[in-house]
Amino acid sequence: MTKIGIMSFAHMHAYSYAACLNALPNAELTAVWDDVPKRGKAAAKDFGTTFVKDVNKFIDLDLDGVIICSENNKHRAMVDLAASAGKWILCEKPLAPNVADNKAIIKVCKDNGVGLGTAFPCRYVPTLIEARRQIQNGDFGDILAASCTNHGQFPGGWFAQEEFSGGGATMDHTVHVVDVLRWILEKEFTQVYCEGDNLFHKKEIKTDDLGSLNMEMEGGIQISHLASWSRPKSFATWGDVTIEFIGTKGVLNVDAFNQKINVYDDKNMRYEWAPWGANADMGLVADFVESVEDQRQPSVTGEDGLRATQVSVAACKSLKNHKVAMV
């Protein structure tokens, strides 16, 4: 049985990862630590595990690996602690809100001989897996361009506080799409231009809640991307990830989370989309547990996390100075 601990429930994805660990036959959610004890205790109770208040006592437990879901700017310190203790690590995206900390995270894991994974669950979405297969098979010829969206509801809290997150919606919702495109096309990004603003939540936040990005990948592939916190609270789900690939042999449209059922909830007077397809988070967590068992790097590596962050940081830079930023 692979013993995993979760460090912080500041990021909402931690709750899904905890549920995945409890569902896996070869994994155990051994303990939880959180620098907000009330939140950590509640999570531990919900998932039937132990809350450890002292972070050093948590790290000293017989854990094989940890999943880090803190605020972005706290990732590096937690990775340093876990790596020094020899724990395999899966860290929420972005690995850090700046490139220097990303590189430091990769280095400390390498120096301590531990695996480092970046939480990009989109790689485990069936529609994106199939899109990758068809594109790499040459079914759509040479890919010339892609048009992408990642629109979501405003997550609130620290996500819109730049000192914790590193940026607004542009930072939050660009890394996923960048990673998917790198994975599918096996090309790197070379430059990015971004315009954006605070258009939907002027009274609540100061960071951007919309970013409109024009990017270029190796070979001159043109990418347009809209990242936003534009979905209202009453929206049927958290948001979307869509990509339209334009190739020399055809066009491929992908709606990554379209495996859903329309649900009309009269009790709460709400219309919802209930997903029926594969659980991408489960794929991510299962791979991490297997990487611990096999003592290998997780399939989505720290280097993948770095590459995605480099593009997002360049986009945020371009957003501020209105100039093209090189990646």
Q: How far apart are CA 304 and CA 180, in angstroms?
A: 10
**What ranges make up the beta strands (E) of the chain?**
2-7, 27-33, 50-51, 65-68, 88-91, 116-118, 143-153, 189-197, 210-217, 221-231, 242-247, 250-255, 260-265, 270-275, 325-326
CB-CB contact of 239 with 153 (8 Å) = yes
Do 105 and 78 lie in a common domain?
yes
Do 268 and 293 lie in a common domain?
no
Do 288 and 206 lie in a common domain?
no
**Number of neighbours of residue 244 by Cβ within 10 angstroms:** 15
Do 184 and 288 lie in a common domain?
no
CB-CB contact of 273 with 240 (8 Å) = no
**Number of neighbours of residue 243 by Cβ within 10 angstroms:** 23
Do 214 and 109 lie in a common domain?
no
Residue-wise pLDDT tens digits, 141-153: 999 999 999 999 9
Among the listed residues 207, 209, 115, 99, the one whose alpha carbon sits nearest the alpha carbon of residue 153:
209
Evaluate if residue 325 carries a pLDDT over 90: yes
Residue-wise pLDDT tens digits, 151-205: 999 999 999 999 999 999 999 999 999 999 999 999 999 999 999 999 999 989 9
Per the structure, the count of domains in the chain is: 2
Evaluate if residue 231 carries a pLDDT over 90: yes
Tell me the average pLDDT of the chain.
97
Tokens of residue 79, six digits: 């990775």
pLDDT at site 237: 86
The distance in angstroms from the start CA to the end CA of the chain is: 42
Q: State the amino acid at position 90 in one-letter form.
A: L
Residue 217's SS3 state is strand
Which residue range forms the structural domain that includes residue 91? 2-121+281-300
Do 51 and 104 lie in a common domain?
yes
The enclosing domain of 290 has a CATH number of 3.40.50.720
C-alpha dihedral sign at 159, 206, 209, 103: negative
pLDDT band at 275 (very low <50, low <70, confident <90, very high): confident
Q: State the amino acid at position 67 in one-letter form.
A: I
pLDDT at site 277: 86
Evaluate if residue 236 carries a pLDDT over 90: no
Do 167 and 315 lie in a common domain?
yes
Do 96 and 244 lie in a common domain?
no
Residue-wise pLDDT tens digits, 45-63: 999 999 999 999 999 999 9
